[in-house]
Amino acid sequence: MPRLELGARFRPAAVPVTALICAGCALTIPYSGAGPHNMYVKTTMDAGEPLAATRAWLEVQRVTPECRGEVEGEIYLRGPADWLYLPVGRPSNLVFKFRTSSLLSQSSAMTSYSTLIRPREGHTYEATVTYKSGLFTINIVEIAPQRVSRRKLPRQDIASCATG
pLDDT in tens, 99-114: 888 777 677 778 899 9
Residues linked to residue 105 through DSSP beta bridges, in sequence order: none
> What pLDDT is recorded for position 26?
55
Is residue 137 predicted with pLDDT exceeding 50? yes
pLDDT value, residue 39: 96
pLDDT digits (tens, 9 = 90+) for 42-100: 998 876 667 778 888 999 999 999 999 999 999 999 877 889 999 999 999 999 998 88
> What's the pLDDT tens digit per position in 3-41?
433 333 333 343 344 444 444 455 578 898 888 999 999
Strand 107-117 relative to strand 135-143: parallel, antiparallel, unpaired?
unpaired
- Domain definitions of the chain by residue range: 2-162
Rounded to a whole number of angstroms, the CA Rg of the chain reads 19
This prediction has a pTM of 0.79
Contacts of 160 (CB under 8 A, 6+ apart): 67, 116
Domain 2-162 fold: Immunoglobulin-like (2.60.40)
What pLDDT is stored for residue 53 in this prediction?
82
Whose CA is closest to 154, among 105, 119, 117? 117
